[in-house]
Amino acid sequence: MRKLHRVGTWLTRLLVAIGLITVLVIATPVVSWWARAYAGPIERPRGDVLILLSAAGDERGGISYSSYWRARGAIYAWQTGGFKKIVVSGGGPGIMNFLLAEGVPREAIVAEWRSRSTRENGIETGRLIQGMTGKKVLLTSDFHMYRAQRVFRKLGIEVTPMAVPDVLYSSEHWNGRFSAFETMAVETVKIVYYAARGWI
């Protein structure tokens, strides 16, 4: 009987905690604060080489939600930022096809699809940009920028960040805030893992 009571107490506490977290996430700007902390300043720097990190694609060669916002950001940067090359890393050809459809010349795109993680993005990109001169700008999602920028710098690749609003867009609407919270929580676990491995 006492054991059953103890289980009931812990279950009640768990449900209360879940309820409080849900209210906190949906009714406050905590997720957008979290995303801004990882993104840093949302700026549009000019440069010579734009490094675009693609998120995973789907089974039909399409692009994910995060890749869509990154591609949109890359197109705007290409049109306004003076870039000579776009280096696409990871995610499959879907994001490159999106750029081509939006008018980016094929000869301006250098791409690789082998990388399956942020660290592999950095390693493969380092190979692709050998011999490319000028300022390198790293474009990825707001939630991803903290880890990505530090991975690249750890590998000796100096980049200027260009974070695109992704979680920030989702958190503008109450029904997108919980999925945005999940994204931020997963990313935080990845940051801890990368730090433990010495990759950032």
Output the six-digit token pair for 35.
């995303």
Q: In the chain, what are the domain boundaries?
A: 1-200
Q: What's the per-residue H, E or C state across the chain? A: CHHHHHHHHHHHHHHHHHHHHHHHHHHCCHHHHHHHHHHCCCCCCCCCEEEEECCCECCCCCECHHHHHHHHHHHHHHHHCCCCEEEEECCCCHHHHHHHHCCCCHHHEEEECCCCCHHHHHHHHHHHCCCCCCCEEEEEEHHHHHHHHHHHHHCCCCCEEEEECCHHHHCCCHHHHHHHHHHHHHHHHHHHHHHHHCCC
Q: Which distant-in-sequence residues (6+ apart) come within 8 Å of 178 by Cβ?
A: 22, 25, 26
Per DSSP, what are the bridge partners of residue 136? 49
Predicted confidence at residue 63, as pLDDT, reads 85
Q: What is the pLDDT of residues 79-110, one digit of tens each?
A: 998 999 999 999 888 999 999 999 999 999 99
Predicted confidence at residue 91, as pLDDT, reads 85
Predicted confidence at residue 116, as pLDDT, reads 92
Per DSSP, what are the bridge partners of residue 160? 137
- Over 80: is that where the pLDDT of 8 sits? no
Q: What is the pLDDT of residues 123-168, one digit of tens each?
A: 999 999 999 999 999 999 999 999 999 999 999 999 999 999 999 9
Output the six-digit token pair for 163.
């974070």
pLDDT grade for 173, boundaries at 50, 70 and 90: confident
Predicted confidence at residue 200, as pLDDT, reads 96
Q: Which distant-in-sequence residues (6+ apart) come within 8 Å of 113 by Cβ?
A: 90, 91, 92, 93
